[in-house]
Amino acid sequence: MAERAVITGLGAVSPLGDSVATSWDALLAGRSALGPITGSDGGGLAPPRAARVEGPDAMALGVDARSARIMGRPALMMLQAGREAMARAGLTASDHAAECTAFFAALGMVDPEPDDLRRTVMRARRPDGIDYGRFFADAYREIYPLWPLAMLNNVGFCLAAQRLGALGENAVFSPGADATLLALVEAAAAVVEGRADVALAAGASESVCARSLARARLARRGRDRDGMVTLGEAAAVLVVEAESRARSRNAHPLAAIAGWGFGFGAPAEEAARDAVVQALERAALGRCEIGAVLLAGEGRDEAGDGAERRAIAGLFDGGTAPALLTSKPLVGDAGPGGAAFDIVLAAMLASTGEPPATLGAVAARHPQGVRSPNDLWRNGLRHVIVNARSPSGQMASLVMARAE
C-alpha cells in the first residue's frame, strides 16, 4: 500500500480564537467573528465589516520589535500557529533535524505600511499636491529603510521559518486561497517522497486594512454592488508527516491527505468541477463517500461562488450529495489563511466527528435539499472536501480522510 501523508499537528489563529481549541469551541458555540471595524482601520469603506484577529503579541512570541515590523501581522500569526501545530504534533527540536524540516506556505498580498512612508510623503507635500522634485531629490530618504523587506512577502516567511527551525525544502505561493492547498500538496509530496521528515504547510491572510478593503472592493466591482466587503484574517499551520514515520514515533494522525486537484480557466464552473473530479480520482473515492464539502465561497456571487455550487450540484446528485459547509459567514474571506483554517476545520471534523452547526448554514439553503449536517454525523463522516479559489480563477480541491 502506498505511503500516505498524514496531519499530526494543527495550529490556528483566527478571529474566533488564538488556537485551534478556542476557535473550535467558538464554532461549537455558534459565534461569528464578523462585525463592524472599529477605529480608523476601515478607511471609511461602508459598511466596513470584517473579522480581525486580536494580536498577535510579538513580544510574547519572542520576536524583537525590528523583526516584528518586517514580519508584519500575517507572518506573526503564522509563527504563532506554527508553534501550536508543532507542540500539538509533539515535535521538539530534538525530534527532527532542521534541514529535514520542509516548509511550504501561502501568503496574501503585502501592502506598503503607511507609517513607513508617511514622513516621506508629508515632507514632499505642498498645499496643491506633491512636490515631486523634492520627493525624488531627498524626501525618499525618510522612508523606513526596511520598508523593502516588508514589501517582499517571502521575507516574513523566512523569519518565521527561522524561528520554527525549518531549513529544508521551502516555497511561498501567493496570493490566493488556492495557494494554500498547493502548499499542503507540496508538503505531502515532500514527506511521502522522503525529501523531508516533517513538513509544515501554512496559509496566512493579508491584514485587514484600508488598502486591502479597497482592493477587495475593486476586485468585486460589478459583482457585488452593495459594496459589502467581509474580509477576514487568519493563519493556520499543519504538521505533515509520512504515516509510517508518524506511527513510528507514536504520533497520533489527526487526518490523512487523500487526494487533490487543481483547475483553472473559464468557465469557472468547469474549473471547479475539474478540481473536484481530480481530487476524487486521486483519492480513489466514489462520490457517495464524501460526507461534506467546505466551500471556497459563501454563495453570494454567481460568477465565482455560484459556479462552484453548480459544479458540486452537478457532481453529486440528490442521493449522494454531501453537506455543504462554509466558514466564511463566521470568519470572513481570509484568502490563504482562510483556506488553511478550513483545512484545520476539515481535520477536526474528520478526527472528532463533532458538528459545529454554524458551518452547516449553507445546507439549509441548498435548493437540492442535500443531507443536513446532523444526518451526516449520525452516519459517520469519513471524507471531507476542502475547496479554495483565487479571485483570478485558480481553483483547488482537497480530500481529507479520517485517519483510522
Partner 1 sequence: MAANGSTRRVAVTGYGLITVLGRDAAQTFARAAEGRSGIGWITSFDTTGLPCRIGGCVPDAWLPGDAGANRIERLGGRALRLMSVAAGEAAQAATLDRIADRGRVALTLGFHGADPSVEEIVLLHRCADGSGGWDGARLARLAGYDAQQFARRKPDVGAALLAKRFRCHGPNFTLVSACAAGAQAIGEAFRLIREGRCDAALAGGCDAMVDFPGLLGFTLLRALAERFESPETASRPFDRKRNGFVLAEGAGAVVLEALDHARARDAKVLGEVLGYGDSADAYRITDASPDGEGARLAMQGALDDAGIGAAEVEYVNAHATSTVQGDIAEARAIHRLLGQRARLVPVSANKSMLGHAIGAAGAIECVLTLIGMERSVILPTINLEAPDPRCGLDVVPNQARHQSHRVSLSNSFGFGGQNACLCLGRCDG
97 binding partner 1? (CB under 8 A): no
Residues 133-172 contacting partner 1, CB under 8 A:
135-138, 140, 143, 145-149, 151-155, 157-159, 161-162, 165-172
Choice between 351 and 397, CB closer to partner 1: 397
Identified binder of partner 1 from the candidate list 59, 130, 288, 357, rule CB under 8 A = 130
Phi and psi (nearest 5°) for 142? -80, -10
Alpha-carbon distance of 295 to 325, in angstroms, equals 6
Phi and psi (nearest 5°) for 316? -115, 110
Alpha-carbon distance of 285 to 264, in angstroms, equals 22
- As measured in angstroms, the least distance from the Cβ of 278 to partner 1 is 9
Considering only 212-220, 230-238, 302-310, 357-365, which stretch makes contact with partner 1 by CB under 8 A?
Answer: 212-220
Q: Cell numbers at residue 386, please?
A: 476542502
Choice between 129 and 380, CB closer to partner 1: 129
- As measured in angstroms, the least distance from the Cβ of 167 to partner 1 is 5
Q: Of 186, 13, 195, which Cα lies nearest the Cα of 105?
A: 186
Residue labelled with grid coordinates 502506498: 2
Residues 364-393 contacting partner 1, CB under 8 A:
390-393
Q: Of 34, 123, 1, which Cα lies nearest the Cα of 338?
A: 34
Stretch 334-353: interaction string toward partner 1, x if CB under 8 A: --------------------
Choice between 1 and 218, CB closer to partner 1: 218
Q: Which residues contact 327 (CB under 8 A, 6 or more apart)?
A: 27, 294, 338, 341, 342, 345, 359
Choice between 291 and 338, CB closer to partner 1: 338
320 binding partner 1? (CB under 8 A): no
Identified binder of partner 1 from the candidate list 1, 36, 39, 222, rule CB under 8 A = 39
User: Alpha helices of 101-202 — where are they, by DSSP H?
Assistant: 114-123, 132-137, 147-151, 153-164, 178-192
Alpha-carbon distance of 322 to 288, in angstroms, equals 8
Identified binder of partner 1 from the candidate list 174, 326, 327, 358, rule CB under 8 A = 174
- As measured in angstroms, the least distance from the Cβ of 368 to partner 1 is 27
- As measured in angstroms, the least distance from the Cβ of 109 to partner 1 is 6
- As measured in angstroms, the least distance from the Cβ of 125 to partner 1 is 6
Choice between 23 and 278, CB closer to partner 1: 278
Considering only 57-65, 109-117, 298-306, 324-332, which stretch makes contact with partner 1 by CB under 8 A?
Answer: 109-117
Q: Cell numbers at residue 249, please?
A: 514515533
Identified binder of partner 1 from the candidate list 28, 31, 34, 125, rule CB under 8 A = 125
DSSP 220-256: TTTT-TT--EEEE--EEEEEEEEHHHHHHTT----EE
Residues 241-260 contacting partner 1, CB under 8 A:
none
Distances (CA, A) of 11 to 85, 185, 275, 373, 400: 4, 18, 26, 25, 17
Is the distance from CB of 401 to CB of 283 less than 8 angstroms?
Answer: yes
Choice between 190 and 246, CB closer to partner 1: 190
Alpha-carbon distance of 142 to 217, in angstroms, equals 31
Choice between 91 and 330, CB closer to partner 1: 91
Identified binder of partner 1 from the candidate list 112, 314, 318, 369, rule CB under 8 A = 112
Choice between 101 and 358, CB closer to partner 1: 101
Identified binder of partner 1 from the candidate list 60, 218, 222, 380, rule CB under 8 A = 218
Q: CA geometry: angle at 295 spanning 403 and 198, to 5°?
A: 40
Is the distance from CB of 72 to CB of 220 less than 8 angstroms?
Answer: no
Q: CA geometry: angle at 78 spanning 77 and 83, to 5°?
A: 100
189 binding partner 1? (CB under 8 A): yes
Residues 261-300 contacting partner 1, CB under 8 A:
262-266, 271, 274
Q: Under rule CB under 8 A, how many of the chain's residues touch partner 1?
A: 88
Choice between 63 and 350, CB closer to partner 1: 63
Phi and psi (nearest 5°) for 134? -70, -40
Choice between 39 and 380, CB closer to partner 1: 39
